[in-house]
Amino acid sequence: MGRHGTIAGRKAAQDSKRAAVFTKYARLIMVAAKAGGDPDYNPSLRTAIDKAKGIGMPNDNINRAIKKGTGELGGSNFEEGQFEGYGAGGVAVVVEVLTDNKNRTTASVKHAFDKFGGNLGTPGCVSYMFDKKGVLVYDREEREIDEDELMEAMLDAGADDMVAYDDSFEVMCDPNAIEDVRKALTDAGFAPDAWDVENIPTVQSTPTDPSQITNLRKMIELLEDDDDVQKVYTNCSIDFDEE
């Protein structure tokens, strides 16, 4: 199963594009902080801060983003959005954005699809091919994890499933329960290395033409380089991060 677009698949990309990733996480914090700047009373903000710290975002950046979100420093009004369409070879693509200029973002996303043989579609045209899941990732290369013990702990925590990869374990749960599951697993000694709510493809697609695969990869890279784009999901069975 291709994992491009999931937190496991983005881990290496985050390391190599740290400045751009800080920008994206700062926006998440700003949006969450609109509901209040104290993470003790704003669970969404606390989660956003935890994620930012997990990728090494400096405290100064985090505090500045909070102040922008609460209006203390001023700042743009970012809104969530989603685009759907097909990439080269008919691969389903979902693009999640946080933007302060919908027209700019729409033009940029459409340009990426058009440039590399894709087609930007209407809302709902491909999202039915994905299920939203809470995903908690455990890096097997950074530490030793007993698979049976993690399996037992995740079942006790109320998670639904676990998938073992060569480099990681991924625990799946109801997206609305991800914080409860994370806390239960952490209390059991299994703090995840990364976690988020993700779009998991329910059907897979594989382009057969090498040029289509190349164009799909380039389209995804162009989209992910856009500061307005938070996440790109596809149902492609190829894991571009491992190529």
pLDDT tens, residue by residue, 182-226: 999 999 999 998 888 899 999 999 888 999 999 999 999 999 999
The whole-number pLDDT of residue 243 equals 52
Q: Which CATH superfamily is domain 7-70 in?
A: Integrase, N-terminal zinc-binding domain (1.10.10.200)
**pTM for this one?**
0.83
55 vs 29, residue with greater confidence: 29
DSSP the chain: ---TTSHHHHHHHHHHTHHHHHHHHHHHHHHHHTT-S-TTS-HHHHHHHHHHHHTT--HHHHHHHHHHHHTSS-----EEEEEEEE-GGG-EEEEEEEES-HHHHHHHHHHHHHHTT-EE--TTTTGGGEEEEEEEEEETTTS---HHHHHHHHHHTT--EEEE-SSEEEEEE-GGGHHHHHHHHHHTT---SEEEEEEEESS-B---SHHHHHHHHHHHHHHHTSTTEEEEEE-BS--GGG-
The whole-number pLDDT of residue 240 equals 73
Name the least confident of 44-58, 91-105, 229-243: 229-243
